Amino acid sequence: MNFCSNCGSAKLEKIIPEGDNLERFVCRECGTIHYTNPNIVTGVLPYTKNKEILLCRRSIEPRSGFWTLPAGFLENGETIEQGAIRETLEEAKLIVDDIALFSVISVPHINQIYTFFTGQIVNDDFGPTAESSEVKLFSIEEIPWDELAFPTVVKTLELYLQNGKGEVFNETLSY
Ligand SMILES: [Zn+2]
**Which residues pair with residue 148 across a beta bridge?**
67
CA-CA distance, 166 to 145, in Å (whole number)? 23
DSSP string, 109-151: GGTEEEEEEEEEE--S-----SSEEEEEEE-GGG--GGGBS-H
Domain at 1-36: CATH code: 2.20.70.10
CA nearest to 139, candidates 124, 153, 157: 157
Q: How far is the CA of 13 from the centre of ligand 1 (A)?
A: 11
CA nearest to 12, candidates 22, 35, 24, 21: 24
CA nearest to 116, candidates 23, 174, 57, 53: 53
160's enclosing H/E stretch is helix 151-163
Task: Find the angle CA(45)-CA(50)-CA(55) to the nearest 5 degrees.
Answer: 35
Give the model's confidence band at 26: pLDDT under 50 very low, under 70 low, under 90 confident, else very high.
very high
- Identify the burial level of 1 via C-beta atoms within 10 angstroms of its C-beta, where 0-12 means exposed, 13-18 middle and 19 or more buried: exposed
Please indicate whether residue 19 or residue 1 has the higher confidence score (pLDDT).
19
Domains of the chain by residue range: 1-36, 39-172
Is the model's pLDDT at 7 over the cut of 90? yes
Q: How far is the CA of 29 from the centre of ligand 1 (A)?
A: 5
Q: How far is the CA of 28 from the centre of ligand 1 (A)?
A: 7
Q: What is the mean pLDDT of the chain?
A: 97
Could you tell me if 62 and 55 are in contact, meaning their C-beta atoms sit under 8 angstroms apart? no
39-172 adopts what CATH topology? Nucleoside Triphosphate Pyrophosphohydrolase (3.90.79)
CA-CA distance, 129 to 76, in Å (whole number)? 23
Give the model's confidence band at 42: pLDDT under 50 very low, under 70 low, under 90 confident, else very high.
very high
State pLDDT tens for residues 56-109: 999 999 999 999 999 999 999 999 999 999 999 999 999 999 999 999 999 999
Q: What is the pTM of this model?
A: 0.91
Q: How far is the CA of 4 from the centre of ligand 1 (A)?
A: 5
